């Protein structure tokens, strides 16, 4: 049996590798974790609600310091959201997360989605580094760095 529906590719292999490398570099100096989830459509719920759903589905709330961040993107519906666990959300504050989303949107409107994601990862990584610096005796990569793709 084979599928008549081929999963769409939103990024080239080089783009994916660039984004994953940005995650690895951002996480190198922090105990925080960053994940990217991309899907085509999100017609049923608000983007932040969908990001929340995915965050918990990926068990991102189980990090030791509650400092994981999910970048959610619905490509066809032009939606994005950042969902941060309580540890990092509280330390950075709501204004920070709103500004990060606005910055990403400005990158996306220039048809520069991969670079926009990379810039967002760098920004979040710097904040995670400041709020949750790397502790060599206890830190480990708690979540996979690869991008996750939905439908």
| pLDDT tens series, the chain, 151 aa | 455 555 678 899 999 999 999 999 999 999 999 999 999 999 788 999 999 999 999 999 999 999 999 999 999 888 999 999 999 999 999 899 989 888 888 877 667 788 889 999 999 999 999 999 998 888 889 999 999 999 7
Question: 74 — phi, psi (to 5°)?
Answer: -110, 100
Containing structural domain, residue 130: 13-149
Whether residue 5 is contained in a domain is answered as no
Model pLDDT, residue 45: 86
Contacts 24+ apart (CB under 8 A), 133-137: 133/29, 133/30, 133/31, 134/28, 134/29, 134/30, 134/31, 135/31
Tally the domains of the chain: 1
Model pLDDT, residue 43: 77
Whether residue 88 is contained in a domain is answered as yes
Whether residue 111 is contained in a domain is answered as yes
Model pLDDT, residue 103: 85
Domain containing residue 130: CATH number: 3.10.310.50
Whether residue 110 is contained in a domain is answered as yes
Model pLDDT, residue 7: 62
Whether residue 98 is contained in a domain is answered as yes
Whether residue 2 is contained in a domain is answered as no
């Amino acid at each position: 049996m084979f599928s008549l529906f081929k999963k769409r590719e939103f990024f080239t292999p080089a783009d994916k590798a660039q984004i994953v490398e940005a995650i690895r570099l951002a996480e190198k100096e922090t105990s925080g974790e960053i994940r990217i989830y991309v899907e085509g459509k999100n017609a049923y719920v608000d983007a932040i609600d969908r990001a929340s759903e995915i965050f918990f589905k990926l068990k991102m709330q189980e990090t030791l310091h509650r400092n994981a961040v999910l970048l959610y993107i619905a490509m066809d519906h032009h939606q994005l959201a950042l969902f941060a666990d309580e540890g990092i959300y509280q330390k950075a504050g709501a204004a920070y997360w709103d500004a990060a989303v606005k910055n990403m949107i400005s990158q996306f409107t220039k048809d520069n989605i991969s670079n926009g994601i990379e810039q967002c990862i760098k920004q979040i990584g710097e904040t995670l580094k400041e709020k949750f610096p790397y502790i060599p005796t206890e830190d480990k990569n708690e979540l996979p760095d690869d991008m996750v793709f939905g439908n």
